[in-house]
Structure 1
């Protein structure tokens, strides 16, 4: 059977993180020496920050005029009619912008 074959590598029984990779190689074994690095010092306490004064806000740009349609416009039934309405709205917006 394949599980008794010495040349078959078990793909699901071992992980790549295991030492030696399950192939009899011990060159990748972990280093078990104690850590020589000193422990980090504790951080300095945080300083209190006074409330920052807010800079005066810049005046926004002047708002334009609002435009309202004379009557209520319902949504067209098909996509062709909706596309036609969109093109008409784009042309109207271009005309209004050109008049200004």
Structure 2
């Protein structure tokens, strides 16, 4: 789930979207074209050539980490890919039995 983000000049919080349409709207309102392209490229790089790369839950986990990274202002392709890789490590660790 995304953390709420407070924008300067807005009195209300922007919270996690509840539908795919709201998610798309949130992303297009918060990020410029270059950032959105970098976010998509990062998601594609992380998911390509992975056995679970097409799994919805996996992609969602990676995408959420990429969005959180971009919301902090780290929007370079390398930074976004690193954020996506961290999600992979976290997801893999959560799946492994102790």
Q: TM-score range by the shorter chain?
A: under 0.3
Output the TM-score relative to the length of structure 1: 0.25
Structure with the larger RCO, 1 or 2 (CA within 8 Å, 6+ apart) = 2
Between Structure 1 and Structure 2, which shows a larger proportion of helix residues?
A: 2
- Larger Rg computed on CA atoms: 1
Output the TM-score relative to the length of structure 2: 0.26
